Structure 1
C-alpha cells in the first residue's frame, strides 16, 4: 500500500524551485517556497523596471546587488521577519559570459563559478570542485550537474524525487 498524499500538498509539479526572472536571467531557490515566489516576483519587477528605464537588459551584477539590498532590508526591523530562503541568480550574455550569484537570507551576495544550495550542498560543492568547467561545453556541464544531483540525493528519506533542468 502506498502512502496517501496529503490534501494540502498541491498538485504534482506545483513546488517548482526554478524561476524565469528575465529573458537572460534564471533563479533557483532553497528554503521557504512562499518567500522564494515573492522574491522571484521582486526580481522580475526589478528587471522589468530597468529595461523600461534604460532600454536594455539588466546586468546580473546589478540585479544581484538590488536583490541583496532588498533581502538585507528585511533583517533590519523586528516588526518584519527575514526571508527564509537562499537563492541563486544565473545569466549568460555574449559580453559578460556565464555569471552566477548566490544571495543569502542575511542579504549578502557572492559570485561563483559553481555553487550548490539546499540539502547536501557540501557534498555537491565537493563534486562541483572536481569538474573542469572552463574546458566543458554547456551540455556537458548540464549532464554532470544532473549526475551530481543524483549522487547526493538521499534515498533513505523515501521522498519523491523530481529533477528539473532549465
Structure 2
C-alpha cells in the first residue's frame, strides 16, 4: 500500500524525497504562504509598484505601524506573503547581500543579481534535515540605474565598444520584478501575485497592458491605482477581516521617486483607495442587476 499521496513517512525530514519525487515540506510551506495576506507587484514602463493586503489581527495594533514592505537597497523593495518572522529574516539576508555587493563593486546591486542570490539562499533551506523551508513567497521589485557609476580607484576608461566593452547605443537599467517561491525557484514577471487572494489578483493582472514593447504600456501612476483596486478585489477572500493597504513604488532617476524605493504618498494612496472602493461597488451593482434579470 502506497501512502505517498498524503506524505505519510516522507514528510518528517526536509531532505527526503517521496518515491514520486515530491518534497512535502516545501509543499507545506506553500500552504503557509496561501494562508497569508495577498501581495502583488506590477512592473510598469517607468517603474515598479509593490502592494500588500496587511491583515489587522488585533484592534490594539497601531495603524500604519508594523510595515510588511521593506527597502533592501535604495533602489529595491521587497514584499512577501506568509510567515512574518520568515519574511523578516529573508529581508535581513537580502540587505546583507545588497551591502556585500555594494562593498565589492561600489554600486547598487542589480535586481536580477539579488533575485539570484536570494533564490539560492532559499533553496539551501530545502536541502538539510536540520532546517525547514521558508514559509514565504517574496516579490522583489526595483529600478536598475541607467547612469554610469565609476567604481573607487578606477584607472582608465576601457574600450567603449567591441570585445570587452559596451555595445554602442545599448541602454542599461530599467524596472525589474522577480518572485521567489519557498522552493527557491524564481522568475521574472511583469505582474506577480501571491497569498490567499492570488488567483483573483492574477486574473486582474493578466488584463493589464504591462509589456514595455506595447505603445500603451501602463504608467507608474496608473499602476498605483490598479494595485489598490486589485488588492481590494483580492480581499474578498478575507472579507471577514479588516486590513490596511500598504503600497510602495520606485521610478527612474527622472521620475517621481528619483530612483529611490519609497512609500506611495499618503494623498495618492488614499485617492487610489477611494477609486478602488468605487470600482468594487460598481462591480457589486452589476452583479445584482444580472441576478435580478
Q: State the TM-score, normalizing by the size of structure 1.
A: 0.90
Match of 1:75 in 2: 126
SS at match of 1:30: strand
SS at match of 1:16: coil
Higher relative contact order (CA 8 A, sep 6+): 2
In structure 2, the partner of 1:30 is 81
Q: Aligned pair 1:98/2:175, yes or no?
A: yes
Question: Deviation digits for residues 25-70 of structure 1, max 9, x if unmatched?
Answer: 1001000010000010000010011001110111111110100111
SS for the counterpart of 2:79 is: strand
- For the residue of structure 2 that corresponds to 1:165, the secondary structure is strand
SS of residue paired to 1:162: strand
Give the equivalent residue in structure 1 for 2:97. Answer: 46
C-alpha change, 1:154 and 1:138, in structure 2 (3 Å) is: same
Question: 2:240 & 2:123 partners in 1: Cα distance?
Answer: 36
The equivalences for 1:12-161 within 5 A come to 12-93=63-144, 94=146, 95-133=172-210, 134=212, 135-154=217-236, 157-161=239-243
Q: Note the C-alpha offset of 1:12.
A: 4.0
Structure with greater helix percent: 1
- In the superposition, the TM-score normalised over structure 2's length comes to 0.52
Distance 1:15 1:121 in 2: 22
**Counterpart position of 2:290:** none
- Report if the CA contact (8 A) 2:111-2:140 is conserved: yes
CA distance in 2, matches of 1:26, 1:149: 18
User: 1:53 and 1:42 mapped to 2: Cα distance?
Assistant: 17
| 1:101-159: CA deviation from partner (whole Å, max 9, x where unpaired) | 00000111111011111111011011011011342210011111111111121276421
Paired residues of 2:70 and 2:79 also in contact (CA < 8 A): yes
Deviations 1:71-130 (A, max 9, x none): 111110011111110101001133321111000001111110111111110110110110
The alignment partner of 2:131 has SS state of: coil
Asked whether the equivalents of residues 72 and 107 of structure 1 are also in contact (C-alpha less than 8 Å), the reply is yes
Instruction: Extract structure 1 runs of 4+ deviating beyond 6 A.
Output: none
Question: Which stretch has the larger CA shift, 90-99 or 50-59?
Answer: 90-99
For residue 10 of structure 1, report the CA deviation from its aligned partner: 5.1
